[in-house]
Amino acid sequence: MPLTFRKYLVLAGITIFSTAGDSLLARGMKDFGNINLSLHNLPGLLLAIVNPWVAAGILSLLAFFSCYMSALSWADLTYVLPATSLSYVLVAFVGHFSLHETISPMRWLGIALIACGVGFVAAGPSLTHRHVPPDQGSHEVATAPVSREAQS
């Protein structure tokens, strides 16, 4: 099954929305510092959610999840998941240049290896088996083999 322009857009949406969502969440949470996840700190957690950066990050991640589900409907998980890892590369650049995070040479090497892996996955087929929706499957009833004695 060849990839159409629409499918390329879905894969691009996965990468863009994932990168944007993670970056916006990181930006928003830097405003709050350390938030302990507990019932005693519920107001602080709710306050973090209404932060515009965090809210935009959550919306971006919802768009990512929609694109991700769409891609899984026509491609194998073993194709879609590595293709989404391109966002790790973009997040590193956003983190370094926009959020001013320090990235060690070892981490850059790991990011380069991820990019190479994405290249290998992109070169392969998106579908390794035929998808059969549950309502369109075979309606034949499987029967047990009949022994010779039962045939006579």
Query: Which tens digits make up the pLDDT trace of 14-72?
Result: 999 999 999 999 999 888 777 766 666 777 777 888 899 999 999 999 999 999 999 99
- The mean pLDDT of 93-102, rounded to a whole number, is 94
pLDDT at 1: 59
CB 51 within 8 A of CB 28: yes
Would you list the domain boundaries of the chain? 5-128
As a whole number, the mean pLDDT across the chain is 82
DSSP string for the chain? -PPPHHHHHHHHHHHHHHHHHHHHHHHHHHTT-----SGGGHHHHHHHHTSHHHHHHHHHHHHHHHHHHHHHHHS-HHHHHHHHTHHHHHHHHHHHHTS-----HHHHHHHHHHHHHHHHHHHS-S-SS----GGGS--PPP-PPPPHHHH-
CB 28 within 8 A of CB 52: yes
pLDDT at 18: 96
Q: Which position has the higher pLDDT, 2 or 73?
A: 73
Q: Categorize the per-residue pLDDT at 141 as very low, low, confident or very high, splitting at 50, 70 and 90.
A: very low
Q: Which residue reads 């991640």 in tokens? A: 61
